[in-house]
Chains A and B, each alone.
Chain A
Amino acid sequence: MSDVLSRRKFFNQIAIAGSALAGIVVTVPIVAYLLSPFIRKPDRTWQDVGAVDDFRINETVQVNLQDPSPLAWAGETALTSAWLRRSTSGFIAFSVHCTHLGCPVNWNQGGQLFLCPCHGGVFDSEGTPAGGPPQHPLQRHDVRVTGSRVEIRPVALKVG
């Protein structure tokens, strides 16, 4: 009895399989669409941030960069920032995000420190944690000097 496929059982299975298939057909494109920010790799190009001579040795200044995946309607948020330090040995570009929880760190020139306004994280001029909760150094963007120009290639925000 049980191994005979009755007409009703057959239709039952067809109906269930068909519904599942219909669900998948609709779901796959929707999920792919929602995941697109992850699937599409952002365009990471070198960005000019100024002439080498614009930056003084032992100073850290804020420079603005184009977001790696800007949108036509992004407005102000198409930009992102970095802290650019020039030392005797060259340039370092720091991410502005505190490695504790991502709040924007502020540079204090006199104290030569990065201060975080959220939970009081402190980093020294090399981006090494100097106080407060952060355990990891500030993330660094790629930076290079081409001729007399300084260029930065932003890296993705990540933890640690």
Chain B
Amino acid sequence: MSNLFGRTPHDPDELDAKPETSLPEAQAFPEITQAQVDAEAKAEAEAAENKEPGPVVKAAQQAGTATFDWVDDRLGIREWLWPIATHLSPKVNWWYVFGSATMIAFVMQVVTGVALAFTYVPSPNNAYASLQWITDDATLGSVVRGIHYWGATAMIILVGIHMCQVFAFGSFKFPRELNWLSGIMLLALTIGLAFTGQLLRWDQDAYWAVYVMAEQVARVPFIGNWLMQIIIAGETVGGNTLTRFYATHVFLLPAATFALIGVHLYLVIRHGISEMPEAGKPVDPKTYREEYHKLLEEDGEPFWPDAAWKDVVFAVAVGAVVLALAIFVGPKELGEVADPTVLQAHPRPDWYFLSLFALLALMPAGMEDALIIIGPTVAGIVLVLVPFLANKGERHWSRRPWALGIIAFVVIAMGLLTVLGDRGDWSPNLDPGPLPEEVSARAEAAGLTEGATIFQENACINCHSIAGVGGKKGPDLTTIGDDLTREQLTWRILNGGNGMPAYGQTLTTEETEQIVEFLLQQTQERETEEP
């Protein structure tokens, strides 16, 4: 049953008489228009009483009205668009602003993206240089790139909040199952846009991040390697990959996003904005529509402008924050230019993928094959099934504690993983620098310089810290002399374990002894001795 293409709020009889109509009822429109015409006529009459306009003004007014009438007749603004814009919607609160804000963020991305495409050169030889020029030399280029960068962040956050809100409010239930489904597809497109956009920076991080993604795709059973080659356009990430990602990022995904936003909005209009959930008022598909329309008749308000003003205010706020970040923080700094022969890279994805990056590091070794494929598949299936598994019943969160629990769990888990991913303690420190002065001085005084040197040259320091210098992948060894005995240390070095390689084959017995002596010197006592 359609409520909004043509139903007027002044016709309750019709609602009762034809509850299942789904076609527009054009004859209903003139009532609104008539009311407006009457109001206008009244206003004109009042104006005329006050002052009779001159003949030139009058002629101009007539010409203006005639022009508008012509345009309106051809476009159907008053007949078709205006009733949609002013359709009755339930009274809702500020939680309902995130969907429209996501759309505004997308529009902002399209506008700044088009602007960037005026200068950006999607060729491996020139992409980085053109981006440098945009950032450093082009008039306001840094701001435009900044809006695009922070706009992407805004879009991801807003689409996330929007989804959580819809889930928490039970708005996905009957009859809005397909609203949710098209929303899930929009979420996937948003993630795709974020990922493809990242490579276009064409710096080392972006370049290697694509390899990471490609290797994940390659784990899909049977077709994995084939799929990977389709995505990166060949066997290696190169010139073909950049243009492929570019075309996907600027044409394919935005076009699909526009189309799906169209579907999403159409569905919002077809089924109406969901009313505020009320505890103890479950959704019953048999009676829901009738009750919804009754609510609209009794307590609805025109969407424009009574409900839409909140959306506008929030969208302006989002735009202002993004602009401020673009101006005062600026776009993400470009790393070194992408170069497959420079292996000293520290690939880190943009923040929205850090949680996944962390998960891949922290999951038990050997489970990747299963989790990389099964995880996203299950997540996707569950998200798709949500409205079909629970399309009726209570909508209010107080009656759906599980829903709130799931949201809290996902948000907290992703937040923690993002923080961990940002720290990346599991990565060896490839450039740790020399041991602190006091550590080497102390080693020298005790004749243990050899041990300290071996510790640094044999990659121990890449994973272990002493007095704040070194990697964080393995245990901190600042006071290891207090915790482990000579035998324990020797055993651990020779055999490895817990992610540490065994050094039995690499170090001579003498070298091992030297390292162990050096490590035994690292005690708490040292800490207290030093001023």
Query: Chain A residues in contact with chain B, CB under 8 A?
Result: 34-35, 37-38, 42, 62, 64, 67-71, 73-81, 96-97, 100-106, 108, 110-113, 115-120, 122, 124, 130-135, 156-159
Q: Which of B8-16, B310-318, B340-348, B438-446 contacts A (4 or more CB under 8 A)?
A: B340-348
Given A74-B124, A102-B211, answer yes or no on A132-B365 (Cβ-Cβ < 8 Å): yes
Residues of chain A contacted by B340 (CB below 8 angstroms): 67, 76-77, 79-81
CA distance A103 to B365 in the complex (A): 16
Contact B361–A133 (Cβ < 8 Å): yes
Residues of chain B within 8 A (CB-CB) of A104 are: 208, 343, 345
Complex Cα distance, B499 from A130, in Å, reads 7
Can you identify 7 A-B contacts, CB atoms within 8 angstroms? A64-B341, A79-B340, A101-B360, A111-B462, A117-B427, A157-B236, A159-B225
Q: Check B523 for interface membership: any CB of A closer than 8 A.
A: no
Query: Complex Cα distance A113/B238, Å?
Result: 28
Closest Cβ of chain A to B255, distance in Å, is 15
In the docked arrangement, what's the CA distance between A67 and B226, Å? 18
Interface string of B31-43 (1 = CB under 8 A from A): 0000000000000
Is there an interface contact between A69 and B235, defined as CB atoms closer than 8 Å?
Answer: yes
A38 B226 Cβ-Cβ under 8 A: yes
Cβ of A72 to closest chain B Cβ, rounded Å? 8
Binding site for A on B (CB under 8 A): 123-126, 207-208, 211-212, 214-216, 218-219, 224-226, 228-230, 233-240, 242, 337-341, 343-347, 357, 360-361, 365-366, 368, 426-428, 430, 454, 456-460, 462-463, 473, 496, 499-503, 505-506
Q: Give CA–CA (A112, B454) in the complex, Å.
A: 12
With CB as the reference atom, state the residue of chain B lying closest to A42. Answer: B235
Q: A70-B238, A74-B125, A118-B357 are in contact. List 15 more A-B contacts (CB 8 A).
A: A37-B229, A37-B233, A38-B226, A38-B230, A69-B234, A71-B240, A77-B237, A79-B341, A108-B462, A117-B346, A118-B427, A120-B426, A131-B499, A133-B365, A157-B228
- B218 touching A78, Cβ below 8 Å: no
Whether A131 and B427, one on each chain, are in contact in the complex, defined by CB atoms closer than 8 angstroms, is no
Minimum C-beta distance from A49 to chain B (A): 12
Whole-angstrom distance between the alpha carbons of A118 and B427 in the complex?
6
- Contacts of B230 on A, CB cut-off 8 Å? 34-35, 37-38
CB distance from B467 to the nearest CB of A (A): 21
Chain A neighbourhood of B462, CB < 8 A: 108, 111, 115
A-B contact count (CB 8 A): 193
Instruction: Give Cα distance in the complex from A113 to B460, angstroms.
Output: 11
Given contacts A108-B462, A133-B365, contact A81 B343 (CB under 8 A): yes
Nearest Cβ on chain A to B107's Cβ, whole angstroms: 28
Sorted nearest first, the 10 A-B pairs with minimum C-beta distance are: A111-B459, A110-B457, A130-B501, A75-B125, A102-B211, A102-B215, A74-B239, A119-B361, A104-B343, A71-B239
Choose from B338, B347, B361, B427 the contact partner of A76 (Cβ within 8 Å): B338
Minimum Cβ distance to chain B for residue A7 (Å): 28
Distance (whole angstroms) from the CB of B225 to the closest CB of chain A? 5
Q: Which of B125, B361, B428 has the most CB of A within 10 A?
A: B428
Contact between chains at A110 and B366 (CB < 8 Å): no
Given A77-B124, A79-B341, A124-B505, are A111 and B457 also a contact pair (CB < 8 Å)? yes
- In the bound complex, how far is the Cα of B212 from the Cα of A74, in angstroms? 21
Contact B218 A76 (CB under 8 A): no
CA distance A79 to B428 in the complex (A): 26
Contact residue among A79, A113, A157 (Cβ-Cβ distance under 8 Å from B235): A157
Q: Are B229 and A119 in contact (CB under 8 A)?
A: no
Q: How far is the CB of A91 from chain B (nearest CB, A)?
A: 19
Contact assessment for B238 and A74 in the assembled complex, using a CB-CB cutoff below 8 Å: yes
Measured between beta carbons, the chain B residues less than 8 angstroms from A118 are 208, 212, 347, 357, 361, 427
Contact of B238 with A67 in the complex, beta carbons under 8 Å:
yes
A100 CB contacts on chain B under 8 angstroms: 215, 360, 368
Q: How far is the CA of A67 from the CA of B124 in the complex (A)?
A: 14
Whole-angstrom distance from the CB of B509 to the nearest CB of chain A? 16
Chain A contacts for B125, CB-based, 8 A: 73-76
Once A97-B215, A101-B215 are accepted as A-B contacts, the answer to whether A135 and B238 lie under 8 Å apart by CB is no
Q: Tell me, in angstroms, the Cα distance from A74 to B214 when the chains sit together.
A: 19
Nearest to A130 among chain B residues (CB) is B501
Say whether A159 contacts B365, CB under 8 Å.
Answer: no
Inside 8 A of A116's CB, which chain B residues have their CB?
A: 427-428
- Given A62-B343, A117-B430, do A76 and B459 touch, yes or no (CB 8 Å)? no
B459: which of A79, A96, A108, A156 is its contact (CB, 8 Å)?
A: A108
Known: A110-B459, A115-B459, A132-B365. A102 touches B214 (CB 8 A): yes
Establish whether residues B338 and A77, one from each chain, have CB atoms under 8 Å apart when the complex forms. yes
Decide if A73 touches B365 in the complex (CB within 8 Å): no
* Contact between A124 and B501, CB atoms less than 8 A apart: yes
B238: contacting residue among A71, A115, A117, A119, CB under 8 A: A71
Chain A residues with CB below 8 A from B347, complex form = 103, 117-118
Q: Which residues of B contact A75 (CB under 8 A)?
A: 123-126, 239
Q: How far is the CA of A130 from the CA of B215 in the complex (A)?
A: 20
B124 is contacted by which of A35, A68, A73 (Cβ under 8 Å)?
Answer: A73
List chain A residues, Cβ under 8 A from B457. 110-111
> Of B214, B235, B239, B428, which one neighbours A68 at CB under 8 angstroms?
B235
Determine the distance from Cα of A158 to Cα of B357 in the docked complex, in whole angstroms.
20
Contact partners of B228 in chain A: CB under 8 A:
157
A157: B residues at CB distance < 8 A: 211, 214-215, 218, 228, 235-236
Within 8 Å CB of B214, what residues of A? 102, 157
* Chain A residues whose CB sits within 8 angstroms of the CB of B346 once the complex forms: 117
Q: How far is the CA of A68 from the CA of B224 in the complex (A)?
A: 20
Please give, as numbers and ranges, the residues of chain B lying within 8 Å of A42 by CB-CB distance: 234-235
| B236 & A80 in contact (Cβ 8 Å cutoff) | yes
Known contacts A75-B125, A76-B340, A104-B343; is-contact A120 B499 (Cβ 8 Å): yes
Give the CA-CA distance A68 to B297 in the complex, in Å.
Answer: 68
